[in-house]
Amino acid sequence: MKHGTISLALSGILCAPAAWAEDSAVSALPEMTVTGTREGALLSETPATVGIIKAQTLREVRPTHPKDVLNQVPGVWVSNLSGEGHSTAIRQPLTTSPVYLYLEDGIPTRSTGFFNHNALYEINVPQSGGIEIMKGPGSALYGSDAIGGTINVLTRTPPKEAEFELSGEAGSYGWGRLLMGGGNASGDDAWRASLNLTRTDGWQDDAGYDRQTGTVRWDRALGSDALLKTVLSFSRVDQQHVGKLTRNELDLAPRTNNVPFSYRQVDAFRLSTAYERETANSLVSLTPYVRDNSMEIIPNWSVSYDPSRYVTENRSFGFLGKYRRDFEPLRARIILGVDFDYSPGAREEDSVKLNKTTNANGGTRYTLDTAVAPVRIYDYDVTYRGISPYVHGEASLTDRLRLNGGLRYDDMRYDYKNRFNNGVAGATQGAPGAFPAGGWYGHVASTKVDYSHWGPKLGATYSFSDDLNGFASYTNSFRAPSEGQVFRGSREATALKAQTAAESLLNLKPVIVDSAEVGLRGKAGALRYEASVYRMRKQDDIVSHVDPISTQRTVVNAGETLHRGFELGFGLLFARDWQIDASLSYAKHTYEMWVVSGAADYSGKEMESAPRTIANTRLGYAPGALNGGRVQLEWVRLGSYWLDAANTGKYDGHDLVNLRANYPFGKGMEVFGSISNLFDKRYAETADGTGAAPTYTAGLARLTVVGLQARW
């Protein structure tokens, strides 16, 4: 066998989704996973719940938003927040907080310090090679960020021979998308390039977006046992935002956008080169990478209490290093590694003046007052630095029982340089006439803030038979506050209060998490299933709190929260040409201890935006007459949840039905289509506020998309 063939095969094993033994669309129970230990491993020997979305599923679903595929995984709910923006619930309430880790081929897409809850719009999801979702705190190999879960988007492997594919889509509300890609192999080299061009007018008023996203991957064989894998990714997103609606607006005029001036412009660039050399009993992996992220935005969520326009940017220089050694006795394995991340960044922010009016349906409409000049309120540089050594070990005590454990040490630092007043502490007044009148913003003096944590993990898997295995695990992890939580405060009524509030943010504690789970995975004939139960306790949970008196939003440590749940996923081939796939989760998220400044006690209350029930059921029909195509009907269920921490009112939840179909014809040709929200249900993607004054992010109206794809 040629060296190039061997190395490209190695690349496929270590860095890409595996070819599963059975071609089921169910997310549970593939044979391999690459996220648990950063290389290919049997899922049956992975003591964690890992949902897998295969490349085939992405090609069949053709998601217009990442939620279209991620919400098929048990216990995962992703909402649509304008364009491809999103908030996420994985073993957590639906949140934009930094409790998830987003990866591309195992490399974080952003630095810990510069978390973005919309991270998936910076990745080319529709043209990826699959997605893995490891639920719960990350292993010792990942450390901070991964509390609710880790989402790892995998790039497609290069082809063995020349190929090209092109697809075009058109749909409701000006939807249009062009996907093109291809690649080739020659000798010891193989490559693949993909380009995603998407635009839409948006179904609501002034809610359009455009994106250009591309991925290039080049694999080069280095002899018979080593390879280089280089990945270049970029995304440019230009999108408008929509605002919250009252109940009356949601019912009578859901297309209303009360913040038509709100927007964001995003640029993301990533480049990495992974060197991997594997011998019979060892592996060396070295991956340097660079990232460049910038965003200009007028946020829609803060117009009522803190209107502003800001620009954030950060550049990252990082390195992932790992050495793995295998030993014959007990099939033992030890992994030693270190992660390094150096990310200098900056924020420039201006307070802006808005005018308020009441629309015909009783909602509040905002317009940007261009006659009042913006006022600079934040101007700082901040550099994040993280160094994280870790050790991970595995051993099989018997043929059926395999144990693993790990320990990680995270050492993190922010080096903050205040560009106001030559780095001296002080306060700056907001825009004249803004809310509240004469508001102030506090700034701390240039300083350094450090966080560190030792995080252990223990796990075990047991094979009851060839068709049934179980696992149990315990993980301790943490999450350092992001730079925006530490150095960007909120508008206050006086300069003294603003300064005091800013200084208090320096005392934010990291979130500490203890999580335990047990699970079963198995198959019985045509049935494949996975079930797990988890219990997670978070100390010093970082939450965003709105003071009931001043109406100001502040970031505080919430004492202690508890998260418990059950998840089930299964797939079944039945009758002829029919298949059913389903996922179900039931969870309860509570404030165990949270007293806010002595004014409110939420201890014992359920957390807001935390649905107990999430379900997804898909019925597929693939008769021979469809020539390899299929029709799929999907039922999505989101349960009710509380609107606020005081539990004064609820959103009732909703049920949605989606329809998809595809039909291959000719040579390499395929026509496809989908209808999201088939019955045009009126619903909310998110809901909050109080029982007396709830507000809603309107859910997508019925969207029809049709397209044509050609492969050569």
Residue 539: predicted pLDDT: 94
Q: Which two tokens stand for residue 369?
A: 């007052």
What's the rounded Cα separation, in Å, for the pair 420 and 422? 6
Return the amino acid letter for 334: I
Q: What is the 3-state secondary structure (H, E, C) of 54-84?
A: EHHHHHHHCCCCCHHHHCCCCCEEECCCCCC
The pTM of the full predicted model, rounded to 2 decimals, is: 0.93
Q: Which two tokens stand for residue 570?
A: 């299964």
What's the rounded Cα separation, in Å, for the pair 627 and 629? 6
According to DSSP, the residues that pair with 656 across neighbouring strands are: 636
- Domain-by-domain residue ranges, the chain? 3-711
Q: How far apart are the first and last CA of the chain?
A: 27
Return the amino acid letter for 160: K
Helix spans in 146-187 (H): none
- Percent with pLDDT over 70 in the chain: 93
- Per-residue pLDDT tens for 491-516? 888 888 889 889 989 999 999 999 99
Distances (CA, A) of 321 to 264, 284, 289, 324, 475: 35, 8, 11, 10, 22
- Per-residue pLDDT tens for 538-576? 999 888 776 655 556 678 888 899 999 999 999 999 888
Residue 463: how many other CB atoms lie within 10 Å:
18
Contact 349, 376 (CB under 8 A): yes
Any idea what DSSP says for residue 482?
A: P
Phi, psi of 103 (to 5 degrees): -125, 155
- Per-residue pLDDT tens for 634-692? 999 999 999 999 999 999 999 999 999 999 998 899 999 999 999 999 999 999 999 99
Return the amino acid letter for 469: N
What's the rounded Cα separation, in Å, for the pair 290 and 592? 41
Tell me which residue has tokens 């320990």.
407
Q: Find the Cα–Cα–Cα–Cα dihedral 485, 491, 496, 499, rounded to 10°.
A: 20
Confidence of residue 28 (pLDDT cuts 50, 70, 90): very low
Q: Which two tokens stand for residue 429?
A: 């007044």
Q: Is the pLDDT of residue 536 over 90?
A: yes
Distances (CA, A) of 244 to 260, 302, 327, 434, 602: 12, 11, 58, 20, 25
Q: What is the 3-state secondary structure (H, E, C) of 505-519?
A: HCCCCCEEEEEEEEE
Q: Is the pLDDT of residue 245 over 90?
A: yes
What's the rounded Cα separation, in Å, for the pair 82 and 266? 14
Return the amino acid letter for 136: G
Could you give the 3-state DSSP secondary structure of residue 117? coil
Residue 431: predicted pLDDT: 83
- Percent with pLDDT over 90 in the chain: 78
H or E stretch covering 14? helix 3-15
Confidence of residue 616 (pLDDT cuts 50, 70, 90): very high
Confidence of residue 21 (pLDDT cuts 50, 70, 90): very low
What is the arithmetic mean of pLDDT over 680-706?
A: 95
E strands in 328-467: 332-351, 354-358, 364-368, 375-396, 401-418, 426-429, 440-443, 447-465
Helix spans in 229-316 (H): 247-252
Residue 36: predicted pLDDT: 65
- Per-residue pLDDT tens for 180-209? 999 999 999 999 999 999 999 999 999 999
Q: Is the pLDDT of residue 586 over 50?
A: yes
What's the rounded Cα separation, in Å, for the pair 473 and 462? 12
Q: Positive or negative CA dihedral for 359, 209, 655, 518?
A: negative
Residue 547: predicted pLDDT: 63
Residue 598: predicted pLDDT: 63
Q: Is the pLDDT of residue 223 over 70?
A: yes
Residue 146: predicted pLDDT: 83
Confidence of residue 40 (pLDDT cuts 50, 70, 90): confident
Any idea what DSSP says for residue 99?
A: -
Q: Residue 372: exposed, middle, or buried by beta-carbon count in 10 A (0-12, 13-18, 19+)? A: middle
| Most confident stretch, 3-12, 140-149, 465-474 | 465-474
| Topology given in CATH for the domain delimited by 3-711 | Maltoporin; Chain A (2.40.170)
Tell me which residue has tokens 């800013």.
502
Cα R_g (the chain), whole angstroms: 25
Q: Residue 454: exposed, middle, or buried by beta-carbon count in 10 A (0-12, 13-18, 19+)? A: exposed
